[in-house]
Structure 1
Amino acid sequence: MLEFALGYNNKDSSVPCEFTKEELKEKYPLFMQWDKRWGYVSYGDSCIGLAGCAPTCLSMAILALTDNKDATPDRVAIYAQDAGFYMKGSGTSWSFMTEGASHFGINGKEICLSQGTVFSEIQSGHPIICSMGPGDFTTQGHFIVLVGEQDGKIIVNDPNSRERSSVLWDYDVLQGQIKNLWAYSR
């Protein structure tokens, strides 16, 4: 993120955002909200790099399920803002997780927080976006994507941390921090 912060004064928003060939090959690509391709784009009272975790997460789910190369985090964030899903003072509305998802051709459904449900959805190839409360991922609020399981632990795509995304997570550790969650399918 340091490179993002240092480049803020020299940002070039005229460059169109595109996914890399490597990202397009990944089953569940990891996008950083502070990526220079879209991080400087305005979102609400701030920019995607600081406040765009929800549209960045939804972008990951959209690309994974539809191969829609146009659903970059900046385009998803612009849609969220233009459609009224960004709420001044509180961030992205939870309704964006279902209503906004349908705009991009995927089905988002709110699911119950239970270990059986979470693992069942993940094993069915349905990424899960979680709204997180204070804990390992945030002090106030943040969104992450649960994308798989390995050795009984959960693989997380955190749009704000490559480090946290490289760790396998116990369900019990995540459970107490999840405020709400949505599973996605085509």
Structure 2
Amino acid sequence: MKRRISMILVGSLLLTSFNNAKADWVKDYQGKWEYFSNDDSLSNFYSGKPNEFVKPVKLPQYYQADTRWGFKRYGISNMKETGCVPTALSMIISGLKENVTPVQVADYIYDTSMEMNMTFSGTSSYGAEIALSYWNLNYRTINSKESLELALKKGNIVYGAVGHGIFVKGYSTHAVVLSGYEGGKTHAIDPDNPERTNKWYSINDIWNQRSMAPEDNVTGGAFIVVYK
């Protein structure tokens, strides 16, 4: 008996499934293949079942302009002006793994890659993944609003790069941290603006304002779910 094989290209991921023995093969942007069985497929790797109300994950609040590190220079800029990514990541790492400062994260990305303030202002999504890997955290790129909402409903933390709108005025981009869910909204931590941080915002609005900058999408998308 022949088995039908279906192949679906989603962003930079190639999914292959068999109708008799469902499984997913995933090829990431680095060309590495990973296998997901029924118990660990792409649609189920998040822990727990979806909920209609999820409390935000408790994280420290850091600001990139903090006088302790705001004027520390990396390449063509400094933490105050372009340090949103390492600052956002430091909050996630501190909440899930160990206490780290924005400078510790920025130092690692800058010292081990070309992804922070070298050929462009800011830090790419690849630079973000370099830091997450170093601190032994798992991560997956999110390719749809539905996947973003599912990740939040299941209690995960999401790193996001956004453009003009709620968090950015103009043509620059910015990194925020999302967690929690209630009525189509999520709780956002902003590493730059005290007036915008620790508030609930529409997931639809945040998704529609996702960054389209190439450096924020080099890993396949502007949103990354992070988990232990």
Unaligned runs of 5+ in 1: 1-25
Pick the aligned partner of 1:118 from 142, 148, 172.
Answer: 148
Instruction: Report what 2:103 is aligned to.
Output: 74
- Paired residues, number: 158
2: distance between equivalents of 1:99 and 1:47?
20
Whether the 8 Å CA contact 1:154–1:168 is kept in 2: the answer is yes
Instruction: Report what 1:128 is aligned to.
Output: 158
Identity %: 30
2: distance between equivalents of 1:107 and 1:44?
28
Whether the 8 Å CA contact 2:153–2:180 is kept in 1: the answer is yes
2: distance between equivalents of 1:134 and 1:152?
20
2: distance between equivalents of 1:37 and 1:27?
23
More helix by share: 1
2: distance between equivalents of 1:110 and 1:178?
13
Whether the 8 Å CA contact 1:44–1:91 is kept in 2: the answer is no
More strand by share: 2
Instruction: Report what 2:173 is aligned to.
Output: 141
Query: If the length of structure 1 is used for normalisation, what is the TM-score?
Result: 0.78
- RMSD after superposition: 1.7
Deviation at 1:127, TM superposition (A): 1.1
Q: Secondary structure at the match of 1:130?
A: strand
Unaligned runs of 5+ in 2: 1-56, 212-221
Whether the 8 Å CA contact 1:154–1:169 is kept in 2: the answer is yes
Q: Secondary structure at the match of 1:57?
A: helix
Whether the 8 Å CA contact 1:113–1:181 is kept in 2: the answer is no
2: distance between equivalents of 1:158 and 1:111?
20
